[in-house]
Structure 1
């Protein structure tokens, strides 16, 4: 396989973006039918993921992104094994894109939860430019790899370290995202925060699972502002989680707020169960930043408009699930890793 010139591939990637923003009949059928393979992958969720990637793959951002790296075509092609997660639709696409864009070959072990979508999207890329035909393959077992990028849980990361520790690797663990509120947010900002919390049913690492609020914060306006997200309770799996967690809180006598589709509970932990949102009060910005600092290694991104002095990525309300090409998981520059192989 000859090495693809990454700079020349910008047109192909941007054309893929355009096709994802205007899905054809075959992709629309896949979007509609994924729910029969994975109940969490509703047409609305899959459409949102497809559109987010379509928006990501625009010429301006692709050019700015790739221009930052030394992607010489004279370097030998490396086989990069990818172990992809399947918690939300197309969650592993960015890793595959990085390997392909770096001029290397992706050996993709897809999650059984999300094996069809990513294959269909990458096959679209080959239809656009046949030169990409050899830049990826889907495998049941990883062999012959020069490097590994693996995404999993805190438990699986230990196995990944053991099996793949002898080759260059990026191994990711569980992460969650948080929001920091000032108490002066508008109804629109809080409605958009509802997207950060509830899009993809809260299953993504970029979903907000915890919020920091100023002392004395009244949740009434927050609940009023997210009321239009209430249809989420009609999803049977989400509803099952809501009923289960509500019963646990009631039996244990745990104090919480409840609007009929989301429970909000004061809790120091970062990871809340589905249908629940944890919160802590903060006295001043120094205390909020200290809480973030103590949890920095477990935070994917922060949703806020406050001037936070933190090392984690900060995005605006409603933007947590709209990452740019350079918004790398865990803050690790995947392209820098790949270009240095």
Structure 2
């Protein structure tokens, strides 16, 4: 398909480090304190690697996109999250690849980076309709055929209510909803690469993404690796200064753990604690001493809020796993909530 070639080249042009529009978007994002320069450059570096590795072509191949199989003529509304820099890029790219018309409600927490990409697409002369705004009211009476929403499960009813009030989507519109919150890592080895990969998986973007590790199941206890883990975290922070500061409840949790004598690693801005409870506090990771069966048990117990299960090089029977090294470096065709957005759009 000719458009796939055009879109790929447009993405490459946009990602060019010398692109002034992208650099301006990065500078504004950093100057307004929305995301750190380190996290933005990490994301851009991953995307550049994805494109150079042929991820766009591979994605098209996997879903069977062709001149006969596409979503042309459909209006797709994307309600993008803003918890990570460019978190909505994959969705926007998927809509464009599908051939559908793209309407994006951008997050006010990340208004510049994705805009710079969409403006690049507009200037490329692609035939699809492209509209975007940080205000949902801009899409009144749109009557979209499909809606892609990323957020918490609790917010879904209110979002649908607002969409219905503004007639943004058709009454029978199909909703593609993403609500996964965190990922799990299973460790059966402890070496230098594991320490680096785990620190990246837990700490990148402040642990805000659904691919971020919030539960670690390991063959060894937290006490066994506490000193080395602390050093690995300090090293990561030295290279990637924290952007957001934790909320006060983190200190309350630390004090509570002290009171019940729960083993923990307290780093003032981050807490790792030994418990198999559902992780609910930001800047916190729950550590569980257990085997593969325990990792499988927790994956089933936590259900749909889990995005991925990572391992070093171990396979876990009955579970789909991904390499820990790719936790914050996924391919473009990875599936949020286990769903391929392009595949859903062309159905």
Distance apart, 1:317 and its partner CA: 2.7
CA contact (8 A) 1:175 1:205 kept: yes
| More deviation, 195-204/229-238 | 229-238
Distance apart, 1:21 and its partner CA: 4.9
Q: 1:279 to 1:272 in 2, by over 3 A?
A: farther
Distance apart, 1:186 and its partner CA: 1.3
1:112-191 matches, cutoff 5 A: 112-127=108-123, 129-132=124-127, 134-139=128-133, 140=135, 141=137, 142=139, 143-160=142-159, 163=164, 166-182=172-188, 184-191=189-196
Match of 1:3 in 2: none
Say which SS state the counterpart of residue 264 (structure 1) adopts: strand
Q: TM-score, normalised by structure 1?
A: 0.85
1:319-334 matches, cutoff 5 A: 319-334=326-341
Q: Say whether 1:9 aligns with 2:9.
A: no
CA–CA separation in structure 2 for the residues paired with 1:310 and 1:261: 36
CA contact (8 A) 2:59 2:333 kept: yes
Q: 1:161 to 1:236 in 2, by over 3 A?
A: closer
Say which SS state the counterpart of residue 22 (structure 1) adopts: coil
Q: Gaps (5+ residues) in structure 1?
A: 1-5
CA contact (8 A) 1:7 1:66 kept: no
CA contact (8 A) 2:217 2:294 kept: no
RMSD (Å), alpha carbons:
2.6
1:1-341 matches, cutoff 5 A: 6-17=1-12, 19-37=14-32, 39-58=33-52, 60-67=54-61, 68-72=63-67, 76-127=72-123, 129-132=124-127, 134-139=128-133, 140=135, 141=137, 142=139, 143-160=142-159, 163=164, 166-182=172-188, 184-216=189-221, 218-220=224-226, 221-231=228-238, 235=242, 237-238=244-245, 240-241=246-247, 244-250=249-255, 253-254=259-260, 255=262, 256-282=264-290, 284-305=291-312, 306-312=314-320, 314-340=321-347
Distance apart, 1:227 and its partner CA: 2.9
CA–CA separation in structure 2 for the residues paired with 1:21 and 1:229: 27
Say which SS state the counterpart of residue 111 (structure 1) adopts: coil
Distance apart, 1:167 and its partner CA: 1.2
Distance apart, 1:308 and its partner CA: 1.5
Distance apart, 1:200 and its partner CA: 0.8
CA contact (8 A) 2:39 2:240 kept: no
Give CA deviations for 1:293-329 in whole Å, capped at 9, x if unaligned: 22242211122122123444x2223311212122111
Q: 1:161 to 1:269 in 2, by over 3 A?
A: farther
Give CA deviations for 1:183-203 in whole Å, capped at 9, x if unaligned: x22112211211111111111
CA–CA separation in structure 1 for the residues paired with 2:289 and 2:130: 47
CA–CA separation in structure 2 for the residues paired with 1:232 and 1:268: 30
Q: TM-score, normalised by structure 2?
A: 0.84
CA–CA separation in structure 1 for the residues paired with 2:240 and 2:50: 30
Q: Gaps (5+ residues) in structure 2?
A: none
CA–CA separation in structure 2 for the residues paired with 1:31 and 1:181: 35
Say which SS state the counterpart of residue 273 (structure 2) adopts: strand
Say which SS state the counterpart of residue 185 (structure 1) adopts: coil
Distance apart, 1:246 and its partner CA: 2.6
CA–CA separation in structure 1 for the residues paired with 2:238 and 2:71: 51
Distance apart, 1:16 and its partner CA: 1.7
CA–CA separation in structure 2 for the residues paired with 1:207 and 1:75: 31
Say which SS state the counterpart of residue 146 (structure 1) adopts: strand
